[in-house]
Amino acid sequence: MNRRNRWKWLVTAASFSVGVALVAAACGGGGGNKTTTTSGSTSTSSSAAGKSFALFRIATDTGTDYLDPGLSYTVEGWGVMWNVYLPLLGYKHVNGPDGATIVPYLAQSLPTVSSDGKTYTLTLRKGVKYSDGTAVKASDFKATIERDYKVDSPGVGFFGNIVGANEYSKTKTGSISGITANDSTGVITIKLTQPQGDFMNILATEFAAPLPASTPAKDQSTTPAPSTGPYMIQSYAPNKQIVEVRNPSFDASLYGGNVPAGNPDKVVWDVIGDDNVALQRVISGQDDWLGYHPIPPDRLSSVQAKYPNQIKLFTPANTYYFFMNTRVAPFNNLKVRQAVNYAIDRQALVRVYGGLAQPTEQVLPPTYPQYKKIDPYPYNLAKAKQLIAQAGVKGMAVTVWNHDRGLDPRATAYLTDVLNSIGLKATQKIVAAAVYWTTIGNQATKAQIGFADWFQDYPHPLDWFDVLLNGERITQTHNNNYANFDDASVNSQIDALKKEPTLTNAVNARWASVDKEVMAQAPWAPFLNRQFTDFFHSNVDLSCYVNHVLYEFDYSTICMK
Amino acid sequence: MAQRVTESEFTLDTAAELAAREEPAAIRGRSPWYLAWRRLRRNYVAFFFLALFLLVLAACALAPMYASHVAHTGPNTNHILETVKVNGKETPVVSPGGVINGKLVASIPIGPTWFSAGGRFVLGADQNGRDVAVRLLYGGRTSLFIGIVSSVICVFFAVILALVAAYYGGWSDFVITRFFDLFYAFPVILLGIALGSALAINGFHHFGIDIQSGSIWIPTLVISYVLIPYIGRPLRGQVLSLREKEFVEAAIAQGASPFRVMFVELLPNIASSVLVFFTLIIANNIILEAALSFLGAGVQPPTASWGTQIADGQELIVTRPWLSLAPGLAIVITVLSLNVFGDGLRDALDPRAKVKVEH
């Protein structure tokens, strides 16, 4: 997903046929103790028992789209709702790679998966209640998935592999036959058309967080649905303020430490549009956390000097890259794509982004256990010029695409200069961010080369290779494979790995080789993994700080001095 | 004998006054333009600002020479990882950032070197390591081109529409004035943003006109289009008044064609207003271009314009204020000089006129 637009790939995914995406084969399966990514380092405990305090205020940006779990698809929206609407499965509230570990939330345990990998069985925890005091029922889960279809949720693409889901998406009447729920036993059974290695991650998304079956099939952002998590949304004034208070029906002891009780009694999100104003509010103590706003580059040094202990640097799983459309000249020529990769000095691009980034030459970010560092295209301008000459495309006109937000236009200003320096005739085309992704994702646009970035929807390599680089998933519109990369060998490897239920070391090594193989074909010129900062008022005790691998800062576990 | 006017500090230089000053034998006919020139040449303030504007114009025209012989770079050339000698000391054009010695440090471009780096980065660099002074001069070419050309187009169509509407009246007047009203209904800046943004994606490819999306002709045409009513409407009022004058009736009585009446009889009589409008609207259009480019609906990057430069610099306004200040000052100087000169021109051409551009 783009940082502010998780929705775009799901719109695409909704249009896919599951049969195209998967190769029919039974594989793996077995017991229920499967988790996603492995963890290789220690993590900070999120436990902060006895550290409750009255109020935590946040100066957040304008990125919150909805506060309806069926509709929200931004980092900001999920950041709020992570502690409000609990799915059956979720992630550990810890720092580091361990945060990618899936744990049971509303489910009693991780699902039991059938030997053919196509049936998932879960049981609802006993005694779980919504914030309005009513009991959570197994059938609520089924109703929630069906509601996603009724509200045209951007998340429906996640569920297309469930038996009967595609039929339901057409009529939106009856029910999804692949989901059965028994309210008396709490057992939920989900049947898939094909095995799917990332299905537990999908069950851990907000789109799968149960709401009461009676929840209206329309946006509930300003009339929030009853919650299951430690907090409930008391009020939401779009673009102004979000107020969360404790959920009176929440009992943390039911969750065995997987869901924290929450330290602040009340959380207030003040929506502030300007980075500098937001920063000033946090410095002055009006707010406690600079939520999702970057510290403006030219204030970083002074803020660092005055508040050295209140800044945290973190690297969410992301890759910034230039796509090269392999269907359009001159980028249908491998030599040209390689030339671009050689011509880019990634250290220069790091400085373009203010220095808070790490250069990269591959698809997967270093936070992934499947990441194995490769260096296929060290900066070599002479070689790039030579490849352009060999390809016979010198002087060819090239249009570089980008949107108009943030620091990203600087990257294509650099790329345009680089392309001109190696013999192409490049110009830029900057379009409004609101339409950029759909514009370049439309085959009719024939975008030759341009900027793109990706922030994970969930910590699994499929979220990168299957969504962005599987040639079988190229679509006419809402295409996420901007490079139109379609390599038979890579496609078959992705399809095979998709059936792997567990990310073992061997499977991880295979993903690493896919990464290498993709970059040998150079459909992208990846250039950096961006870093971000969290900044807090001096009253905040950062010994409790948790930055989650997916949801970023966890406000529920923070402490005050 | 008529008394000579010697003490008066201010005079309208009317023909009667001039005639009174001259010896009876030397009385000559004076054209309105001559009279205007006499009035204008005594307005030293207007001439000073005209000279200032011409200076800006000349500096921008010489941008390529400055870029190649002094700064040794182009307006879009990135120098991110390079260093430059400032007072004999190697200084990075864009400083390295990240975690350095345990501290978070942001990459910041070099500030103004004020000719201590052999003419390079006189006003500093932007985050892409581009020379701000070079971009300022090239940006001026873009902004002045858009300001002047859009004014020519705008005034041309405004004059035509005003003449046709006022001369013919009836349905022609109704349609044209409703067109003016329609545009008046939208704030200029919002209409400019809407049109500029819409055309930014695919350009304009209709009626045999083919303009690519990144072309500076898009903001040029958008600006000229949205301001036509603001010139056309007051001019129409003037023509309506002139239309009833005897010299027009005389021309019609003599069988002059509508074209002749409009362009030979009426147009010269509104020429002074047109000229003043033209001067003032250049300044207005430069500001509008800057506003549209600042908001992303005008000149498209990496093409430099004063508006895009102000936008580029806003994120570094604390540590590198010259990134925004330099183009801001350029706009102030240019617009001020055009406005003061325009006012002087208006006073000279018709001291009683109240010609101004308002929207």
Whether B101 contacts chain A with CB within 8 A: no
* Chain A CB contacts of B78 below 8 Å: 348, 413-414, 417-418
Confidence of residue B351 (pLDDT cuts 50, 70, 90): low
pLDDT for B285 beyond 60: yes
Q: What is the pLDDT of residues B244-269, one digit of tens each?
A: 889 989 999 998 999 999 999 899 88
Establish if B243 touches chain A: CB-CB under 8 angstroms: no
How do residues B38-87 score in pLDDT, each as one tens digit?
888 888 899 999 999 999 999 999 999 999 999 999 999 999 999 999 98
What chain B residue is nearest to A358 in terms of C-alpha separation? B98
Q: Does the beta-carbon distance from B213 to A311 stay under 8 Å?
A: no
Smallest CA–CA distance, residue A238 to chain B, in Å, is: 24
Q: What is the DSSP letter of A405?
A: S
**Euclidean distance between CA atoms A334 and B101, whole angstroms:** 41
For residue range A486-543, list pLDDT tens digits in order. Answer: 999 999 999 999 888 888 999 999 999 999 999 999 999 999 999 999 999 999 999 9
Q: How many helices (H) and strands (E) does chain A have?
A: 16, 23
Average pLDDT, chain B: 87
Question: A431 and B106: CB-CB below 8 Å?
Answer: no
Asked if A351's CB is within 8 angstroms of B78's CB, the reply is no
Is the CB of B201 less than 8 angstroms away from the CB of A311? no
Whether A428 and B301 lie within 8 Å, measured CB to CB: yes
Whether the per-residue pLDDT at A340 is higher than 90: the answer is yes
Share of chain A above pLDDT 70, in %: 91
* pLDDT at A357 (0 to 100): 94
Residue contact A298–B214, C-beta within 8 A: no
Distance in Å, alpha carbon of B137 to nearest chain A alpha carbon: 19
Q: How far apart are CA B258 and CA B252, in angstroms?
A: 8
pLDDT of A405 higher than 90? no
Interface size, chain A vs chain B, as Cβ–Cβ contacts under 8 Å: 116
Higher pLDDT residue, A27 or A147?
A147
A298 with B320: Cβ contact below 8 A: yes
Q: Is the pLDDT of residue A19 over 80?
A: no
Within an 8 Å CB–CB cutoff, is residue B185 touching chain A? no
DSSP lists the bridge partners of residue A290 as A59
Confidence band of A18 (pLDDT split at 50, 70, 90): very low
Q: In B, which residues are within 8 Å of A414 by CB distance? A: 78, 80, 128
- Identify the pLDDT of residue B2: 41
Give the chain A residue nearest B295 (alpha carbons): A404
| Residues near A415 by beta carbon (within 8 Å), at least 6 away in sequence | A322, A344, A400, A426, A449, A451
- The residue ranges of DSSP E strands in A105-217, in sequence order, are 112-113, 119-123, 179-182, 187-191
In the numeric block, which tokens belong to residue A333? 């020529």
pLDDT class of B212 with cuts at 50, 70, 90: confident
Residues of chain A with Cβ-Cβ distance to B128 below 8 Å are 352, 410, 413-414, 417
Q: What is the DSSP string of A14-65?
A: HTS-HHHH--------B-S---SS---S-------TT--EEEEEEEE-TT--
Return the closest-CA partner of residue A411 out of A321, A530, A338: A321
Of A355, A431, A435, the CB nearest to B98: A355
A138-155 residue pLDDT tens: 999 999 999 999 998 888
Instruction: Give the strand pairing for A540-541 and A524-530.
Output: unpaired
Instruction: Please report, to the nearest 10 degrees, the dihedral formed by the alpha carbons of residues A412, A418, A422, A426 taken in order.
Output: 30
Contact B163, B115 (CB under 8 A): no
A290 contacts in B (CB within 8 Å)? none
pLDDT of A296 higher than 90: no
- Characterize A475-499 residue by residue with b for buried, 16 or more Cβ atoms within 10 angstroms of its Cβ, and e for exposed: beebbbbbbbbbbeebbebbbebbb
